[in-house]
Amino acid sequence: MLASSQANADDDLMEAARQSFRPIPSVVLAVKDNPVTHEKVELGKILFFDPRVSASEIISCNTCHNLGTGGVDAGPTSVGHGWQLGQRRAPTVYSSVFNVAQFWDGRAADLKAQAKGPVPASVEMNATPDHVIDTLNSMSEYGVMFKKAFPSEASPVTFDNFAKAIEAFEATLITPAAPFDQYLEGDTNALNNQQKSGLKLFMETGCSSCHNGINVGGQDYFRFGQIERPSTSLRPTADKGRFAVTKVASDEYVFRAAPLRNVALRPPYFHSGQVWSLKQAVGVMAKVQLGAKLSDTEENDIVAFLNSLTGQPPKIEYPILPTRTDATPPPALGK
């Protein structure tokens, strides 16, 4: 009788979870207005790792979105051109293709737009589209790869195609087969009892009202400090979030809900990058977003559930980059 009752409870929990979440697929989904081909992905991978598209020729996409450390860098905010500190924590590139938009404030509609953003940003790559194109055109290997990736175009080395190739590569950076995915697909033993308890709390406490869908977040925008204002270290007053995009007063301190896939791999947390403990982050979110005070056991259970969101990243071999030539622009160090 007890076994039957437990089985029913497990079935109910799984069914409730399926109402709010979806497993990550094992294959790349289609990307809008940008067919994902092998040639485009291979080109995008090399561009992702090439620091010569930055003015200093030190900073690549992988610098801030390190594929070896959860798709993010090590510090609270990224270090850019001339050792400048960025304003926000770098979002993860893993499974970012599933987000409704890119960046914490959603200012980029897709990964193509996101790929273009860091190039001219003075605090990031501090370059220009012309610098990128001049650099790529200076190496014949790139010309060959662009032609293979965009075979219908007479002059394929363009800034738009640079962004499309990076988007195609990033679309392959999905992390399926997490224990939680296996659970959603019917394996009740994929989560242990503590993780199931954490999942139940995650839904009943209200966490899943913002963190839901395939990416367990990343699908909508919410005010950070819904119930209680966070400290200024967690929510700097100068960074008003989505307000900078929309200029709508109600969007002050509104940010895209962080996708929680692989969240255990990428401390520190929040857009300000000021919390290094996942357990502390859970407590902060419960307090300022939901007005809830979780017990030590409840926080531990939710953290156990969040650990079940760690999937299997693709194996990426670091590419050998095309060799620079006399025509390749020199680095602009200290400028």
Residues assigned a catalytic role = 124
SS3 percent helix, strand, coil of the chain, rounded to 5, is: 40, 5, 55
- 3-state secondary structure (DSSP) of residue 106: coil
Whether the link from the prior residue into 268 is cis, omega within 30° of 0, is yes
Nearby residues of 199 by Cβ (< 8 Å), 6 or more positions away: 13, 17, 180, 191, 305, 308
Tokens linked to 281: 């982050």
Q: Are 309 and 263 in contact (CB under 8 A)?
A: yes
Task: Supply angle C-alpha 74, 236, 269, rounded to 5.
Answer: 35
DSSP assignment letter at 272 = T
- Backbone angles phi and psi of 254, in degrees to 5: -95, 135
Tokens linked to 34: 């940008």
